[in-house]
Amino acid sequence: MNTDDPTSVADRSHARPAVAVAVGRTAVSFPRGERFREPALPVRDRLIVALDLPTLAAAERMTQALRPTVSWFKVGSELFTAAGPEAVAMVQSHGGRVFLDLKYHDIPTTVARAVAAAARLGVAMVTVHLAGSVQGLRAIADALASGGARAGRQPGARPWLLGVTRLTSLEGSTTTETVIGAAQLALRSGFDGVVASAREAAAIKHDCGNGFVVVAPGIRPPGSEPHDQRRIATPTEALSAGADYLVIGRPIVAAASPTLALEQVLAEMESVGVGK
């Protein structure tokens, strides 16, 4: 995957025989020969710490503590509602990159304007719910492409547009099919990737191509409390299944020592042997 070009999509051929990858309780197929075609990134640059905290002050303390080690931080609904764009500016002031995870869900015109506004904030990733038609979602993607983000930070000159498939707090007998269908819709609509659990990552890569980005929330180190998450995976399982970025919140930010918890997660990620 070309991590400097958010519009690039790698070979999507389905002709290769598949190998099985077990993630949690789900076994999925992955094209042989593509499993280890990971971004040439250090694993620490594939970890996104979720700043799911109630105040800007708390989020800044956490960012200051963790920023020397990682560069990616998620700003979600709780923090953005409490602090607004100042939360984005705070992370950027410490040299961090922002995954703005507000899961926009409204009529296409409203969402298109919202993602364009997010681009002007200089965020690096932004999320939109995949509820709608190809035409409506394509209009959102086109608005972002023509909006002209000012930041120019990685992963590109504009934010990556990611579709939210199915929340990791939900599961069911048709979840995998639902997620894959949503990912295919995102691909046809011009999105750069999706947010999906690691359990579906391999199948998404198979159907949508290795260059189609998968950001996986619901990551729990071994022995961690799942809380309200259902489709969880360990860092090892997520990277082995092909997830490009892992989102971890409470196991780090709610730990007695967030810095120690972070180092333990990174050590597990390093042991998988992906990334450079």
What residues act catalytically?
Answer: 103
Which tokens hold the place of 58? 């708390």
Rounded to an integer, what distance in angstroms lies between the CA atom of residue 36 and that of residue 273? 9
Closest CA to 151 of 74, 207, 227, 91: 91
| Ranges assigned E (strand) in the chain | 18-23, 26-31, 47-50, 72-76, 97-104, 125-129, 160-164, 193-195, 213-216, 245-248
Torsion angles phi and psi, residue 98, rounded to 5 = -110, 125
Cα atoms found within 13 Å of the Cα of residue 268, Cβ hemisphere only: 19
- Helix 258-272 / helix 56-66 crossing angle, nearest 10 deg: 50
Structural tokens at position 207 = 């159907």
Q: Show the tokens assigned to 244.
A: 């490009």
